[in-house]
Structure 1
Amino acid sequence: MLSPSQAGFRRLLPLLRPHLRQLIAGLACMLLYVGSFLLLLNLAGELFPSLSSRDLPRVLLLIGQGVVIFAVQKLAQFGQDSLLAGPALQVSQTLRSDLFRTLQTVELGALEKLSAGDLTYRLTEDADRVSEVLYKSIHDTVPSALQLLAVLGYMLWLDWKLTASIVLLAPLIVWLVGLFGARVMAATERSQKKVSELAGLLGEAIEGLPLVRAFAAEPWLQHRFEREIDQHRQARHRTYNLVALQHPVVGMIEVVGLFSVLALAAWRIESGDLSIAGLSSYLTGLVVLIDPIAHVTNNFNEFQQGQASLKRLRQIEREPQEPADPADAVALGVVRGDLVLEDVCFGYDPAQPVLQHLNLEVKAGQVLALVGPSGAGKSTLFSLLLRFNTAQQGRILLDGNDLSVLRARDLRRKVALVPQRTTVFSGSIAEAIRFGRRASDADVMEAARLANADGFIQSLPRGYDTLLEERGSNVSGGQLQRIAIARAVLGNPALLLLDEATSALDAEAEAAVQLGLRQAMSGRTVLVIAHRLATVQEADQIVVLEKGAIVDRGSHDALMQRGGRYRELCERQFIRDLQNR
């Protein structure tokens, strides 16, 4: 019924092994629960003749036995459900945790192409659906299937000829359930794709609402949102229609089977081949069969929907991963900050190089500014220095160590980034500066002082314990940028990468951030991506990049005197040689 590509839940079985003892205890309760049905069927066969003969003591005894068996069955059902819930939920937690760990190692180029809303939906709603399906499979589908087999076996023992007439209908029911299940899975995949697209649009819309209002584009956004939710409704409706159609079709076959059995039973009683007691047990068994058939059918539909969710979760694993550390990776010790690039070439597509034959040398403690138009390769160079990507030709050396043979975590502890757009996680300011690293309060405060952030933090009512709201919306842009600088220098990095950290600030905020940057840069090797060229005139060395190649280099004064591309870029921004100002 399941093709190999659909049988994704088999891959979750190894995750159940740590919970084997609990599963065995739950299985024992399950067997007791299912076995109780056979005892109740036997009691039903004895009860109806006793009622017809008005044997009250016998009736009361049988009822008492039935109550005891029923009570034991319900206790076993409770044990089964409670014992099996833990492993199912633990598997879901492990799956979600493993996938999030995998997500953190996806290549940044691939990650940027993924929708944040879609990924959020997968790791929340899809993971929850997988958990629910796994739990239902363990605590409901398995006992229902066992109940089905046990009751059918009992009915075969009572009267194999009547049971054979029922079994003949089983292949038709199985085929129909499989047919509907495959279509439900396909419809569910389409529905979940629409939900992911809707989640992505919601994320964009919420973040971009100020822009939407600024352009008076609310009707456009409303129309687009309504179109997305209508497509989502249609996709879900198709799934519901398939499930709704399955119930009457399968139910009709069950009714035909029931009436066929009744007709055959009447004929066999007439011929003397079946007793009233046997018929009582048999009909009770037939009634008992209806419930597990309904459960297995419904759960199979949910199982198919869970398959669609698991398939979407597993797609995360197929995203290209960041290169792992080499087996003989070198540990990085104390770093001075000498940086050398030797004939470095790189392209996200090797046929279209982004960086071409770069040769650079930066002495420890120097400041190197990278200037050039958008797309020149400045940010790509930063990604190589952080080893988000690896050069396809040439070498990058830090204190003589090739970055490609270093442990990535060691390297990133010595190289810190201050991005153009600051990202912080919700939590206290102290937690934002620590950013998952172990550091004392004194170290956090010292980093904030270096970043010129201690003053404004201390002036807040709760100081370093002040909670940052989502995206740091309760502090100003300049304050947020100084927190980012403190975060960068906390680990005392030897190499500091600045992606024009002041380009989006006003003059007053920029002055405060620039002071923090100057203090943070002291004694470190610094590479600056400069969009506003007035901010890099004091750099030890300025490198002009264009189409991935170095077209000029030197100090500001030397480049201005020489003319060329740098002077042209400066004049476009109305910057003049300092000597002529």
Structure 2
Amino acid sequence: MLPTPRPFAGCILHASKSPLFLSQCSFRSLISPLTRSVPAVTPSIPARVVGHLKAPTRTFCTRQKHVGWNLQSFSNLEGQALRSIGFQKRSQITRHALRSFSSTSLRYTTHHHHQNHEEHTDSKDDPHKSEFGRSEKASKAAQVNLSARLRKDPGTVGGFSGFGEIWRLLKIARPEAKWLGVAFCFLLVSSAISMSIPFSIGKILDVATQTDDGKLFGLPMNQFYVALGGVLCIGAMANYGRIILLRVVGERIVTRLRTQLYKRTYTQDAEFFDANRVGDLISRLSSDTIIVGKSITQNLSDGLRALVSGAAGLVMMLYTSATLTGVMSLMIPPIGIGAFFYGRTIRNISRKIQKSIGDATKVAEERLGNVRTSQSFAGEAQEVGRYNKQVRKIFKLGIKEALVSATFFSTTGFAGNVTILAILVFGSQQVKNGAISIGELTSFLMYTAYAGSSLFGLSSFYSELMKGVGAASRLFELQDREPSHSLTKGKKVKSAKGTITFEDVVFSYPTRPAVTIFDGLNFSIPAGSNVSIVGPSGGGKSTVSSLLLRFYSPSTGKVLINGQDLEEVNVKSLRRKIGIVSQEPVLFSGTIAENISYGKPRATRTEIIQAARRANCQFISDFPDGLETYVGPRGTQLSGGQRQRIAIARAIIKEPDIIILDEATSALDAESETLVNEALAKLMAGSTTTISIAHRLSTIKRSERIIVLGTNGKVAEEGTYAELTSREGAFSKLMESQLGGALPEYPRREMEITEREADEAERIREEQEREEEEEVEEAEEEEGKVEESDDEREANVRVEKKAEEEKR
């Protein structure tokens, strides 16, 4: 272990393939914090970080030389051993500690560090100057365009009580109409048999009260009982067929609905995904589709069964006694009105619950996807609290739904019991008067129970249907949303080997229409050339690639390839001709071979191997499973450099006409970068047009032509590297700020804060410590309770054993 003084600021220079092991001690570590930082801010960060980070020891793990200019110690790792070590006094660096790092790791910058130094010193006099004010650009950015965002309002759904959505729900089931018809026939059979039972029981009671041996429906009683048992078996079989058919039909509807919605989601434009969170979309595709499928199959079946049973029961009650039927019908209107308002309330609550579930899914998906970052900041408790907050919202809505349901169903149940009591009072009087028999009164009471159950079932059906309407409205929002451009319409692109032209392009991101990225952008890139696009942060370098790939369309102006306006071409065919390697490589969960072949799904094994070799993926041979090595979710099982090289292989295997390298070598060490650059050079030597979104000096020098974007949304200047550096312009200033000399030395000092800020920080720290202590105490109490209960159980067992021994 390298001895270091405390407090201390040290730097460890390492390559991406060199594993870094640090002992568990008290230090602050910044691992390659500036690998992908934009040139405009790169040089100023190390000095400010070193100046403001408080003790204990600060350790920087980096591949960039200028990070160490204000540090005290340097260690260079190669393989698993220290290659060289050096210490500095103030800004004097021990040069041999940096010897193995070539000039390819240098980055240019647009930052004027002398001006930053003045701001840095001025903030001492006025602490409020160090706060971030709101710029004019930020004020414009606040004007957000939410036209692409799916509606989150959990209020009423369009139409009167959502009947428009109900009709659309029924249309979803249209392809299954044949099987639904068969299930409906089974339903009629089972319902008819069920409704014959009260009538049969009434007749049986009337016959049983007679003194002589009677017959029922022309059959002796024993034969009648056998026939009734056979009929009941037929009813059970019909009910079985109904349930099986509806379950299968429901699964088919849910499967088809999910497939259609996923396809619809995947064909949306970039504006849609800018405005909507993935977690909410996942919630719509999962839980919402289940609710909708249940509403149009099982729930619809239950509703039809209740309707048929209720109608048949009402007819039989009229046949038995019209007077008692009138008494019973007095309760139907208030229950029906209550069911209507109950259904509307449940629909709105259900929509709120589905929205809250979507929010909870968003939180879980985002946080679990970045769990390492959260854990590195010891943010487990914070993230659990964030998720619990969303879960509590669902819990409160569930309680509200339970209260509404309990109120409605308890009220209807009470009303049903009162109705039964009224029928018994009036019915007993009619039996005394001889208007009806005891068997008929019994049948009527059973039909009343069936009718009440049917009315209860209809109310439940309506409430569940309204839940389905609430979920369906969220699905229909997604299904009805039309993307700004079709992926399949337009003229197919057979070749993208032509001049790329940006002609008076004006562009703003759809979600931030007030912030202009390009304002009359004009430049052209000849076919087969190698061009670098450079500029300040937020200048629109990556936006150039987004416009080329038709993720967005210009507000005005044109983007042309070989004279063809991209607004008129088939987007799919265009993207097949363009390969891209992003700054942040994205791999899918699967094997290395599957990720490489993603650029060409029908690629042979030989083509995959050749692409991997051209991208310098020799590290694959170190894995036991080779190309079949599982990369983990988002490629987390691989290092950043390894992911980047696989992404390069994925672009190479397409053999594209245009390749876009968005700082494609940013995650590579100097040696790997050199090898990958050789592979890219072979690719560039052909007829492929290469566009590099460049930060590294090595990438810029290798380009045939450089386009410098300005802060005004236009091209500041363009030309070769030699031409741009020979004159004083925007590009020359970028190079001067990077290569003109060492950074100004900032004194190492503690962060200056006001007394009020210090008191507030101390208060927050004490609250956090108190909360942590309470959590620990609660955990200890729970553990003690568990141990106490275990001890009690053991004592009870011992007492029982002793009692048994005494008995023996």
- Give the TM-score normalised by structure 2: 0.67
Partner AA of 2:587 in structure 1:
V
Tell me how far 1:410 sits from its aligned partner. 0.8
Matched, 1:339 2:500: yes
SS of residue paired to 2:441: helix
Segments of structure 1 that go 5 or more residues without pairing to the other structure are 577-581
Report the equivalent of 2:635. 472
| Contact in 2 for aligned 1:478/1:510 (Cα 8 Å) | no
Task: List per-residue Cα deviations over 1:93-146 (Å, max 9, x = no partner).
Answer: 222111111111222123123222222222111212222222222332222221
Q: CA deviation at 1:249?
A: 0.9
Q: Report whether the alignment pairs 1:330 with 2:518.
A: no
Aligned residue in 2 for 1:442: 606
How has the CA–CA distance of structure 1 residues 402 and 345 changed in structure 2, closer, same or farther, with 3 Å as cutoff? Answer: same
Of 517, 533, 541, which residue of structure 2 is paired with 1:370?
533
Q: Deviations over 1:291-317 (max 9, x none)?
A: 333333333322222222222222323
Give the residue type in structure 2 aligned to 1:446: Q
Q: Which has the larger radius of gyration?
A: 2
Does residue 166 of the first structure (1) align with residue 328 of the second (2)? yes
Would the alpha carbon gap of residues 326 and 288 (structure 1) be closer, same or farther in structure 2, given more than 3 Å must change?
A: closer
Structure ranking higher on relative contact order (CA contacts 8 Å, 6+ apart): 2
The code of the aligned residue for 1:11 comes to R
Q: Tell me the C-alpha RMSD between the 2 structures.
A: 2.5
Q: Which residue of 2 is the match for residue 33 of structure 1?
A: 190
Aligned length: 574
1:467 match: secondary structure: coil
Q: Which runs of no fewer than 5 residues in structure 2 stay unpaired?
A: 1-156, 742-808
SS at match of 1:388: coil
Distance in 2, matches of 1:158 and 1:56, equals 21
Structure 2 counterpart of 1:535, one-letter code: T
Question: Which residue is equivalent to 2:550?
Answer: 387
In 2, the alpha carbon distance for the partners of 1:5 and 1:508 equals 64
- Match of 1:293, SS state, is helix
Secondary structure, counterpart of 1:527 in structure 2 = strand
Letter in 2 for 1:346: F
In the TM superposition, residue 219 of structure 1 has moved relative to its aligned partner by 4.1
Q: CA deviation at 1:413?
A: 0.5
- Given that 2:487 and 2:572 are in contact with CA atoms closer than 8 Å, whether structure 1 keeps it comes out as no
CA distance in 2, matches of 1:425, 1:52: 78
Q: Distance in 2 between matches of 1:240 and 1:532?
A: 61
Compute the displacement of 1:229 (Å).
2.6
Aligned equivalents of 1:115, 1:6: Cα separation in 2: 29
| In structure 1, C-alpha distance between the alignment counterparts of 2:713 and 2:231, rounded to whole Å | 80
Question: Structure 1 residue 326: deviation in Å?
Answer: 8.5
Further displaced range: 440-449 or 492-501: 440-449
Amino acid corresponding to residue 537 of structure 1 in structure 2 = K
Q: Do residues 203 (structure 1) and 360 (structure 2) align?
A: no
Which one of 390, 413, 418 corresponds to residue 228 of structure 1? 390
Match of 1:570 in 2: 735
Residues 517 and 540 in structure 2, CA contact (< 8 A), matched pair in contact too? yes
SS at match of 2:401: helix
Alpha-carbon contact 2:504-2:520 (below 8 Å) kept: yes
Which residue pairs with 2:620 in the alignment? 457
Q: Does 1:64 align with 2:226?
A: yes
Cα distance in 2 for partners of 1:548, 1:197 equals 37
C-alpha separation in 2, matches of 1:145 and 1:282: 18
Going from structure 1 to structure 2, the CA distance change for 1:185 and 1:460 (only over 3 Å counts) comes to same
Overall identity of the aligned pairs, in % = 28
Structure 1 distance, partners of 2:163, 2:692, is 50
Q: Return the letter of the residue paired with 1:200.
A: K
Query: What is aligned with 1:544?
Result: 708
Deviation at 1:195, TM superposition (A): 2.1
Q: Distance in 1 between matches of 2:496 and 2:367?
A: 45
Higher helix share: 1
CA distance in 2, matches of 1:68, 1:78: 15
Query: After superposition, what is the alpha-carbon deviation per residue over 1:413-436, rounded to whole angstroms, capped at 9, x for unaligned?
Result: 101211111222222222212227
3-state SS of 1:573 partner: helix
C-alpha distance in 2, partners of 1:66/1:291?
A: 23
* Matching residue of 1:579: none
Moved more, 202-211 or 501-510: 501-510
The alignment partner of 2:472 has SS state of: helix
- Change in CA separation of 1:28 and 1:227 when aligned onto 2, cut-off 3 Å: closer
Letter of the 2:459 partner, please give it: T
d(CA) in 1 for partners of 2:260 and 2:359?
24
- Asked whether 1:262 is paired with 2:424, we answer yes
State the AA in 1 paired with 2:652: V
Aligned equivalent of 1:141, options 299, 303, 308: 303
Q: From the superposition, tell whether residues 52 and 410 of structure 1 become closer, same or farther in structure 2 (CA, over 3 Å).
A: same
Deviation, 1:19, is 2.2
Q: In structure 2, how many angstroms separate the alpha carbons of the residues matched to 1:458 and 1:164?
A: 86
TM-score by length of 1: 0.92
Residue deviations 1:53-107 (CA, integer Å, cap 9, x gap): 3749844333222211111111001111112222222222222111111111222
TM-superposed CA distance for 1:511, in Å, is 4.2
Structure-1 residue corresponding to 2:518: 355
Residues 177 and 297 of structure 1 are in contact (CA less than 8 Å); yes or no, is this contact kept in structure 2? yes
2:375 match: 213
